[in-house]
């Protein structure tokens, strides 16, 4: 890369590369919500029918087994994870896997809030995975399938035995619809619409296997449970949560938006089609990194590299010789420059992650827009490097 570069001539048609809320599906306009049941009760017959439609589409598009339950719950993916952790952990020991900020958050909740005693923590730094061979599946296991803030994912479900004794509790929010979730190895799966679907925030999806339901109905934790965390009544699962009813009021606009996104997903080739789109998008970044003299992946092992939350670090020796503060300032300046040019919004690395960039490559992003983005990354970095070294 030369010291003096001309700004690229062509900008992405859609500059939205945020890792959440993510880009809307191609062709989306607000008219997609024209038939939303605004002003109607979510408990009305038509309201429940639309919620059930969202659940049915989730099963079809995500290829969820028929004997797994799907419910819409409060507070996004966080609420879905917390609901199960508070309702079900403590029946046996638990292994917590953490290699980025959200996994670290679940560790904090289990150790500091739930204050469980029999907890093992398997950690790895940003860009790496813990040693998955050390996981003890006689215990419950809590992990993120895809580390949204590190760009590191588990390679597959082969490391999870089918005959496990404990439950596997998987935060899959930035993996759903883009990576192969092995449901036979997963007892609890959570995600939120604002990631791979480009949907709206504040609602979470909770998917339970029959083994997870059994735990909910047989284990009674000795702790108070807020109303929005309660999954049982009279010792039985509140099945209506998974049949179109909800614990609290949902936004019918958000439900309609999720329906629209999933109907588009089916038109785009279903699960395999969405995965192929994300893979093609991630390949644009990989091909660019292969020729870059200043950027590299935070996740160096391609086998565990995310195809959605693609995280990059600066490897230019002149820049890495600067102080951490100066490097962070340069990275923020690159993000700001791209924002001002209207070519790439919200691509700064997560606040707790190493200094760098994060580009969402999920299926709602068009490959052509990423192809237009990468020359702008080179240009913005070159301009800010000159300023930093001046």
Cα dihedral angle (89, 90, 95, 97), rounded to 10 degrees? 40
Higher pLDDT, 5 or 289: 289
pLDDT averaged over every residue in the chain: 96
**pLDDT digits 0-9 by tens, 249-274:** 999 999 999 999 999 999 999 999 99
Average pLDDT on 103-120 reads 97
Q: Where in the chain is the domain with CATH 3.40.640.10?
A: 33-266
pTM: 0.97
Spatial separation of the C-alpha atoms in residues 33 and 253, rounded to whole Å: 7
**pLDDT digits 0-9 by tens, 40-77:** 999 999 999 999 999 999 999 999 999 999 999 999 99
pLDDT in the model for residue 2: 46
pLDDT in the model for residue 342: 98
Q: Are 288 and 373 in contact (CB under 8 A)?
A: no
Architecture of domain 33-266: 3-Layer(aba) Sandwich (3.40)
- Kindly tell me the burial class for residue 140, based on how many C-beta atoms sit within 10 Å of its own C-beta (0-12, 13-18, 19 or more): buried
Q: Pick the closest to residue 331 from 344, 345, 314 (CA basis).
A: 314
Q: For residue 74, what are the β-bridge partners?
A: 203
pLDDT in the model for residue 245: 86
**pLDDT digits 0-9 by tens, 206-238:** 999 999 999 999 999 999 999 999 999 999 999
Is domain 270-389 in CATH 3.40.640.10, yes or no? no
Q: Where in the chain is the domain with CATH 3.90.1150.10?
A: 270-389
Residue 109 main-chain phi, psi, to 5 deg: -65, -45
């Amino acid at each position: 890369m030369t010291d003096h570069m001309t700004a690229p001539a062509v900008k992405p048609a859609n500059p939205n590369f945020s890792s959440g809320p993510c880009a809307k599906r191609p062709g989306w306009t607000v008219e997609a919500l024209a038939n939303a049941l605004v002003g109607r009760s979510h408990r009305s017959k038509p309201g429940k029918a639309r919620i059930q439609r969202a659940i049915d589409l989730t099963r079809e598009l995500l290829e969820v087994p028929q004997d797994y339950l799907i419910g819409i719950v409060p507070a996004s993916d966080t609420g879905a994870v917390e609901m199960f952790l508070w309702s079900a952990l403590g029946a046996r020991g638990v292994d917590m896997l953490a290699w980025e900020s959200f996994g670290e958050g679940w560790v904090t909740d289990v150790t500091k809030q739930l204050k469980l005693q029999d907890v093992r923590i398997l950690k790895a730094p940003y860009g790496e995975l813990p040693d998955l061979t050390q996981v003890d599946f006689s215990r419950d296991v809590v992990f993120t399938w895809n580390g949204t803030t590190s760009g590191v994912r588990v390679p597959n479900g082969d490391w999870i035995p089918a005959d496990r004794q404990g439950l596997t509790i998987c935060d899959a929010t930035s993996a759903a619809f883009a990576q192969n979730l092995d449901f036979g190895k997963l007892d609890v799966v959570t995600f939120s619409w604002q990631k791979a679907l480009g949907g709206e925030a504040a609602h979470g999806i909770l998917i339970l296997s029959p083994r997870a339901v059994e735990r909910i109905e047989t284990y009674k934790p000795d702790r108070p449970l807020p109303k929005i965390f309660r999954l049982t009544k009279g010792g039985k699962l509140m099945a209506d949560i998974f049949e179109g009813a909800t614990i609290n009021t949902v936004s019918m606009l958000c439900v309609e938006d999720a329906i629209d996104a999933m109907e588009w997903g089916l038109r785009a080739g279903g699960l395999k089609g969405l995965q192929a789109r994300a893979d093609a998008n991630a390949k644009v970044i990989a091909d660019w990194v292969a020729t870059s003299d200043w950027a590299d992946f935070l996740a160096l092992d391609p086998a565990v590299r995310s195809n959605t939350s693609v995280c990059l670090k600066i490897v230019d020796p002149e820049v890495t010789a600067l102080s951490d503060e100066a490097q962070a300032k340069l990275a923020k300046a690159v993000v700001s420059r791209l924002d001002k040019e209207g070519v790439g919004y919200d691509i700064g690395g997560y606040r707790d992650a190493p200094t760098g960039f994060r580009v969402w490559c999920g299926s709602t992003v068009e490959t052509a827009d990423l192809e237009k983005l990468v020359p702008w990354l080179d240009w913005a970095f070159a301009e800010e490097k000159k300023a930093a070294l001046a």
